[in-house]
Amino acid sequence: MIVVTGAAGFIGSNLVRGLNRRRIEDIIAVDDLTEGDKFVNLVDCKIADYLDKDDFRRRIADGSIGDVRAVLHQGACSDTTERNGRYMLDNNYRVTLELFEFCQARRIPFLYASSAAVYGGSSVYVEDPANEGPLNVYGYSKLLFDQVLRRRLDSLTAQVVGLRYFNVYGPHEQHKGRMASVAFHNMNQFLEHGHVRLFAGWDGYVDGGQSRDFISVEDVVAVNLHFLDHPEQSGVFNCGTGRAQPFNDVAASVVNALRAERGEAELTLAQLVEQGLIRYIPFPDDLKGRYQSYTQADVTRLRAAGFQAPMRDVRTGVSEYVRYWRARK
């Protein structure tokens, strides 16, 4: 069986669907459903069993979990504003370490979610310690285990892969609230207010020009499944498109996809701004100096590891996302 932690979450539930598309259903879904609304992300998934994360952690400790073929560890606290370091390091670092030791003892492939947050304010996104300097305890919790893997790379008994996710968007992220993607918030803003709000220019960027490496969750699933298929590959890898695009592109893609639903013509960015469909608000003072205005994954190592599939640009991926989500309403 395959274990997916964080299985009721955003990336986890999409991974379960990716496995199901391969007709893999012998899956143990692990999560914390204290906030029960996340159950909707698993309704259309086929799994063999569900375990609460604390029960799963106990079974890992006492070895009673059963026969495991691989562990896809997505479970974590992903709130970058969480300041409780004790909680963050136990939930993100210590649990990951426990699963790593369990998998190494049993020679089980272990794929886990790292984060581009490890780079902090760096302008170079290459998997190298010289570029790493997290700005929050969330990023530190991810970096801490990446460092463990690096120390153990030459003595591994089975595959271990850490994927540094960049700005992931796509279906089944609605439970994340304010931590959901820009595309999700843009979609809801337009549906509720008839326009999208973006930050005005700051830090040398034009209005809405701050840029990130936005990656569709479908491409994230493809990267995970690639490494699942190649157990000879281990290490820390960026999981992004290698293409930075401005927030303007996301907003324009959202608005035009929703306009297409109504049978309305596609508009250029200038037309969207002129008609008040995209509006800019002053850049918040409290984010100045604490905001990543630009991220772009260096995907050299990912491509060298054999992942050669093309990745969606913002227009393609966001339009797919909007159509998928609107079809379920």
Q: Write the pLDDT tens digit of every residue in 279-295.
A: 999 998 887 777 778 99
Query: Rounded to an integer, what distance in angstroms lies between the CA atom of residue 142 and that of residue 156?
Result: 19
Q: What is the model's pTM? A: 0.95
Residues making up the annotated binding site for NADP(+) are 10-11, 31-32, 38, 53, 74-78, 91, 142, 168, 176
Strand order in 160-165's β-sheet?
Answer: 49-52, 27-31, 2-5, 70-73, 110-115, 160-165, 235-239
Same domain membership, residue 159 and residue 199 = no
Mean pLDDT of the chain: 94
Count the domains in the chain: 2
Same domain, 153 and 263: no
In contact, 217 and 169? CB cutoff 8 Å: yes
**Residue 84 belongs to a domain with what CATH number?**
3.40.50.720
Give the pLDDT confidence of 62-110 residue by residue, as tens digits.
Answer: 989 989 999 999 998 777 677 778 888 888 999 999 999 999 999 999 9
The amino acid sitting at 135 is L
Residues 6 and 36 in one domain: yes
Going by the DSSP 8-state scheme, the letter that residue 38 receives in this structure is: G
**Ramachandran region of residue 309, left (φ > 0), alpha (ψ -120 to 50) or beta?**
beta
Residues designated as active site? 138, 176
The beta strand positions in 8-149, using DSSP E, are 27-31, 49-52, 70-73, 110-115
**CATH, residue 263:** 3.90.25.10
Residue pair 34/57 in contact (Cβ under 8 Å)? The answer is no
E runs forming strands in 200-258: 211-212, 214-216, 235-239, 245-246
Are 275 and 221 found together in one domain? no
Q: Are strands 110-115 and 70-73 parallel, antiparallel or unpaired?
A: parallel
The answer to whether the CB of 9 falls within 8 A of the CB of 113 is no
Based on the fold, state whether residues 148 and 176 are members of the same structural domain.
Answer: no
Give bridge partners of residue 27 from the DSSP assignment: 2
152 and 253 inside one domain = no
- Structure confidence at residue 289 (pLDDT): 72
Range of the domain at 323: 167-216+242-296+312-328
For residue 4, what are the β-bridge partners?
29, 72
3-state secondary structure of 134: coil
Gap between the Cα atoms of 64 and 45, Å rounded: 25
225 and 84 share one domain: yes
Confidence of residue 163 (pLDDT cuts 50, 70, 90): very high
115-120-123 Cα angle (round to 5): 105
Do residues 157 and 230 both lie within one domain?
yes
| 178 shares its domain with 29 | no
Whether residues 305 and 318 fall in one domain: no
Residues of the binding site: 10-11, 31-32, 38, 53, 74-78, 91, 142, 167-168, 176, 178, 185, 199-202, 212, 291
Query: If pLDDT is split at 50, 70 and 90, which confidence band does 329 have?
Result: low
pLDDT at 286: 80
Q: How far apart are CA 134 and CA 211, in angstroms?
A: 19
| Same structural domain, 257 and 207 | yes
Q: Identify whether residues 267 and 251 lie together within a single domain.
A: yes
> Could you tell me how many residues make up the chain?
329
Residue pLDDT, tens place only, 203-261: 899 999 999 999 999 999 999 999 999 999 999 999 999 999 999 999 999 999 999 99
